[in-house]
Amino acid sequence: MSGIYGLSDSAYRQIREAFRRASGIDMPESKRQLVAGRLYCRLKALGLPDYDAYVALLQQPEQAVERQCMVDLLTTNETYFFREPEHFRYLAAQILPTLRQRPVRVWCAAASTGEEPYSLAMLLQDKLGDGGWSLLASDLSTRVLERASQGLYPLQRLELLPPEYLKRFCLRGTGDYEGQLLIRRELRERVRFCQHNLLDSAADLGQFDIIFLRNVLIYFNGATRQQVIQRVLRQLRPGGWLIIGHSESLQGVPSDLQLVRPSIYRLPASAAVVRTDLRGVA
């Protein structure tokens, strides 16, 4: 075995390509140590001698479950409640008052371990009440979706969570769950989690008034980013809103979106959106 953690140049190149095909994300050379470290547990669990053997396993047609496991392990998931809080303030004060149709449909398109969709759910329940909203949360990784559906989190992720929301929507753990919080069942049941690859058509997910697509575009190259945005926009209703991360930009991506303020866009109510299925578009 050679290279970092025994990850050969050839094996790393093939793992990068397999991950890129599955996720659209091109893992740079600088992530080689991270990749080796995260996949090392799979070599041990599967009894494989090296990463070249693991690559050979991934290439077998019947190994779809293992390819998903690879994606789960390599997907970066750093999030916390009410991350980038200005978006939530603007949503409450400026966006929701513009939407008259009920329920307001919201899509959290990079849900990770669930802190973002639950933050949205708390705000929506507070401002719109029962029956006023619906929320779909999707992610590529089945591992993080499983964690999200449980709604159990360490207390360290609460720095930006409003105290009144903590009391209203969360339960503090005791005994074996000391130091953790649980999202109340009534709120958990209002959030629908599903696996979705942003490279695929989202036509079966329906139309939305608000789409949160935050802190995921930075992982795509220009062509893939444009493809993802085009697919997502086909699910945004005219007059709807798209919110991306503060460090992200749609520069160079042609669309009818209007920039309202940095990282917040709106599709004009008069926009004629083409609802074609882009499956297979490179």
Exposure on the CB side of residue 8, measured as CA atoms within 13 A:
11
The Cα-based distances of 49 to 45, 55, 109, 186 in angstroms read 11, 11, 37, 48
Report how far Cα 68 is from the mean position of its chain's Cα atoms. 16
Taking a C-beta distance cutoff of 8 angstroms, is the pair 107, 210 a contact? yes
Kindly list the catalytic residues: 38, 139
Taking a C-beta distance cutoff of 8 angstroms, is the pair 168, 183 a contact? no
Taking a C-beta distance cutoff of 8 angstroms, is the pair 245, 86 a contact? no
Q: What is the DSSP letter of 156?
A: G
- Of the candidates 152, 157, 189, the residue with the CA atom closest to the CA atom of residue 171: 152
